[in-house]
Amino acid sequence: MPVILATDLIVYFLAAAIVYFAFSVMGEGIAARAWAGIRTNRLALVCMAVLFVYFSIALLDSVRYRDRVFDDSGRHALTEKGEAIYSPQALSLLDRALSDLRTNTEKSYSAPFARYLFTKESVELPNGEAVRDYPAMKHPGAHWLGTDKVGNDVLFSAIKGVRTAIVIGAGTTLIMVPFAIFFGVIAGYYGGLIDDIVQYIYTTLASIPGVLLIVAFMLLFGTSGYQGGLISQSQISLSFFVLNERLFWLALILGITSWTDLCRLIRGETLKLRELEYVQASRAFGVSKPGIIARHIVPNVMHLVLITFVLQFSGLVLAEAILSYIGIGVGPQMGSWGNMINTARLELSRDPIVWWNLFAAFVFMFSLVLPANIFGDAVRDALDPRLRTGKGWH
Amino acid sequence: MTPILKVNNLKTYFKTSSGLAKAVDGVSFEIPKGGTFALVGESGSGKSITALSIIQLVPEPAGYIAGGEVILNGTDIVPLDERKKREIRGNKISMIFQEPMTSLNPVFTIGDQVMEAIVLHQDKSRTEAKRAAIEMLDKVQLPDPERLFNEYPHRLSGGQRQRVMIAMALACKPDLLIADEPTTALDVTIQEEILKLIREMKAQTGTAILLITHNMALVYQNADVVGVMYAGKLVEVAPGKALFRNPMHPYTVKLLRSIPGHEKRGKALDTIAGTVPPATSYPKGCHFAGRCPREMEGCAMIEPPLTEWAPGHQAACHLYDAAFMSQPHSRPLRQEPDILPPLTVPPAEREALLEVKGLKTWYPIKKGVLKRTVGFVKAVDGIDIDVKKGSTLALVGESGCGKTTAGKSILQLIRPTAGEIVFKGRDLSSLKERELKSHRSLLQIIFQDPYSSLNPRLTVRETIEEGLKAVRPGMKREERIEKVASVMERVGLSPEMMARYPHEFSGGQRQRIGIARALAVDPEFIVCDEAVSALDVSVQAQILNLLKSIQRDFGLSFLFITHDLSVVEYIADEVAVMYAGKIVERAPTAEIFSNPKNDYTKKLLSAVPRIDERLVSGWRLPGHDILKQD
């Protein structure tokens, strides 16, 4: 029985967008121009490959279904009415592919590649004597990045965090960018009353402390939401769809609170662009206002969108960590780097320190954010005809 | 007498991604005490970099002085360490810049800024420095210097700020004052005052002046000695009057002949073929060889040294070199005729194409929470003009007089407050946006800045096509491309460049694209808003020739908005002088220049620097046989 979370739709949308761009590269639109610029940029290609791997993980982690429950005799269990019974656990394709990593748990902390646990325990020797020593692990050497406090594989947790990060980073941006562009451009271009209204809205939003708004929102909507792990029947609508999901509410509220900065930037840039002479020339031809906005304004503010996107990406992942800390993040059972960083606070104060949780989160985050930055820059440059020939001072 | 400044074979290079750019490539000249040396040249010729090299402020790390000497009062200052150089800057050498609006720091008072240099370089207490600063402000003829001392820069006009800059520059009585385009950003009446001030200060203090400008008439009136710079080299150095009486280098002749003016009416302006070679790939010999109307076989290979051919008159050209001319490599490669072709426009028709009656464009000033209108900025305050079919009306005036607003109001890009704009019998100002759409294509506009007038993200084809798409939505793609190709050809651009982006073109070419964009929709009336003001004089000449020829071929009417009166004299049939939102005088061009009636017009016209018109007819290209003639 398939289960689709609200945030899965975001991932599917991204996947569809990627497929669409991959096809339109063969045409001669913007995508083709961008591709022509990126194709020759080896670094950007490497970054694209890394991003592609990350995205594939997120996509695999977004296709999930519930297995049927077996009864004692090994047959599919049925309700009294004869309906199939499904397990409350919706495992994704990724969970299933990495089921070894997922299920090979230890008792507690163990360092990367360790054969013995990290902390001493009372171990009973074969002769019945009890000594304090490092107990042997169930799966010695199998945990490349060690295990966490409850013995879960850290590598697996980090991989599970990929989807969360992509949903938070890209999903939030997807929610916010259309608002920011639309309101920013119409405020800047039309001016007058429309400008006043838009400015009023974003000034009001920006004047409410963001964290307060997020906390209030999450407490209102997020508390009963699905937060990883087992699904309760009440969270499911239409027998397979989960709208009430904490991660989704989080992406939504982060989107609502973060579009104002970009909107302000775009409004300012539009105010500048609308006075430029090519816009005036366009007006002298009688081109309509939406036509001018589409041809002359939006393409010339896209660089702001790209810059904001890559700059906000890491900020959003961190915001998720902070919110997890105060208990309104994505929830402990849905793997996230924020949770890992959060638990690492206590681990770093131990002696000797438990560093691998933080390390894993850091490595995974770094190797997502850095390529995203570089790739974002490459796309921006590729879309800017002035930079395409690579001419310098002359 | 030893000169104050002697520049010896100065070379300033820049490291760029496309190679070594030789911005200044071996320049030598000297300035005596109290002398004015003018460095003229088009943009990119290296004149500003020469100035920065002299004051030891080459933009590092990309740029560096690769060789040569800058000898100030007998000492070469290039090898000095940074501390010593700082002592020289602002003290022995000072500089004033083009843009008075940005060269003063807005958060400090005028007094603070003038005092800064005095305290830094002269061993004076703050009270003494204050007295000296006020004295300087008084000397540059600023009103009420005591009060001004505590004012912030934004309270001052552009001309007043430039006076403050001069006060700062001269506060330490420098030996050398570098004035880099000191009046380019100023109105012509203020330009005259500033130059007068510089001349007076020079007479008082004996400061030598290095004047950098692209304005030939300014040079004619202010310079003792002139150096003409082209592509990093001086091609001609001569006493001011001698240069204008007898320009020797073909480049100088071409440059002078491309200046518009009333003597050249009815003729095409002289233009220079091709473009300046990039600083990274100059030819081995004469840098001008590829564009020279008198190029000989050896020119691109053998470098002509700057040699004195007449007393005080140096030129770097092989034509005057008997030894070179006797060699076989003196065979001419190019032999352009010396006579300029006529370029006349048929006389205008009697009927007016466009009549403007009582045009007013007021901007409301809004205050308070409720944005009540408390007053108006009367940008255009009731003007009446008419433009006859096939003629050119020039709308002249200083910055802020409302001439650009007037042009945009006529095109309905800004909706006017009141007045009628009757175009072919219909009042445009009464039309609704939708009704206006069918008229839009007949009235077009060409802008000043060739950089901001083209969308950097659209190809040339997309840019020119835009109007066609809006005006003739039914046009087929092939037809459109054909039309784009034909207008590109008409403005002198190869249609093969259609798929390129604006940044791949030079300023002049961009201006051609702007003209092509307007022409594509078959207009009858074009507003040229400072259309040639941002261009170098030789490029300006090409564009003016182009505008005249399209006027002739298509029977276009122009409203030429400009502050440059030499352009007006050359191109306009009628002139309307605008001042503070109103037209103060209107007359045919010849009449207004010979017999201005309004006081403001008189003041404006008398402030324009002019080259003695008797000299103009004497500017002849030297022939290959110039030596045999003597």
CATH class of A2-75+153-387: mainly alpha
What are A253-292's pLDDT values in tens digits?
888 888 888 999 999 999 999 888 899 889 888 888 898 9
Q: Provide the chain B residues 428-487 that lie in CB contact (below 8 A) with chain A.
A: 436-437, 440-441, 443-445, 447-449, 452-459, 463, 466-467, 470-471
Give ipTM to 2 decimals: 0.79
Residue A394's pLDDT band, with cuts at 50, 70 and 90, is: very low
Which of B452, B464, B519, B526 has the highest number of chain A CBs within 10 A, making it the mutation to test binding with A?
B452
Residue A390's pLDDT band, with cuts at 50, 70 and 90, is: very low
Q: Do A391 and B471 touch (CB under 8 A)?
A: no
Residues of A in contact with B521 (CB under 8 A): 285
Q: What is the mean pLDDT of chain A?
A: 84
So what's the pLDDT on residue A393?
A: 32
Q: Which two tokens stand for residue A104?
A: 């090979």
- Count A/B contacts: CB-CB distance under 8 Å: 89
- What residue ranges do the domains of chain A occupy? 2-75+153-387, 105-152
| CB-based contact A181:A270 (threshold 8 Å) | no
So what's the pLDDT on residue B1?
A: 62
Return the closest-CA partner of residue B402 out of B361, B460, B345: B361
Residue type, B60: E
Distances (CA, A) of B245 to A134, B8, B167, B234, B269: 102, 27, 35, 19, 19
So what's the pLDDT on residue B629?
A: 65
What are A119-156's pLDDT values in tens digits?
888 888 888 888 888 888 888 888 888 888 888 888 99
- Strand ordering across the sheet containing B75-76: B19-31, B5-16, B63-72, B75-76
Q: Which two tokens stand for residue B134?
A: 């006020």
Neighbouring CB atoms inside 10 A of A345's CB total: 10
What are A223-246's pLDDT values in tens digits?
777 877 777 777 777 667 777 788
Average pLDDT (A360-376) is 88
Cα–Cα dist A322/A338, whole Å: 7
Q: Do B452 and A295 touch (CB under 8 A)?
A: no
Q: Do B471 and A278 touch (CB under 8 A)?
A: no
- Say if A291 is an interface residue toward chain B (CB within 8 Å): yes
Does the structure show a pLDDT above 50 at A391?
Answer: no
CB-side neighbour CA atoms (13 Å) of A358: 11
Q: What angle do CA B42, B345, B618 make, to 5 degrees?
A: 50
So what's the pLDDT on residue B443?
A: 92
| CB-based contact A38:A32 (threshold 8 Å) | no
Low pLDDT (below 70) residues in chain B: 1, 629-630
Query: For helices A6-24 and A172-190, what crossing angle results, to 10°?
Result: 70
By the 10 Å C-beta count (0-12 exposed, 13-18 middle, 19+ buried), B118 is classed as: buried
Distances (CA, A) of B509 to A7, B346, B512, B539: 52, 27, 5, 9
So what's the pLDDT on residue A114?
A: 82
Q: What angle do CA A198, A203, A207 make, to 5 degrees?
A: 155
Which of A33, A190, A278, A293 has the highest number of chain B CBs within 10 A, making it the mutation to test binding with B?
A278
Residues of A in contact with B458 (CB under 8 A): 295
Does the structure show a pLDDT above 80 at A299?
Answer: yes
- Tell me the pTM: 0.84
Which of A285, A302, A381 has the highest number of chain B CBs within 10 A, making it the mutation to test binding with B?
A285
Neighbouring CB atoms inside 10 A of B358's CB total: 13
Q: What percent of chain A has pLDDT over 70?
A: 97
What are B362-397's pLDDT values in tens digits?
988 887 777 788 888 888 999 999 999 999 999 999
Residues of A in contact with B484 (CB under 8 A): none
So what's the pLDDT on residue B595?
A: 92
CA distance B614 to chain A (A): 39
Q: What percent of chain A has pLDDT over 90?
A: 16
- Say if B404 is an interface residue toward chain A (CB within 8 Å): no
So what's the pLDDT on residue A321?
A: 73
Q: HEC string of B89-109?
A: ECCCEEEECCCCCCCCCCCCC
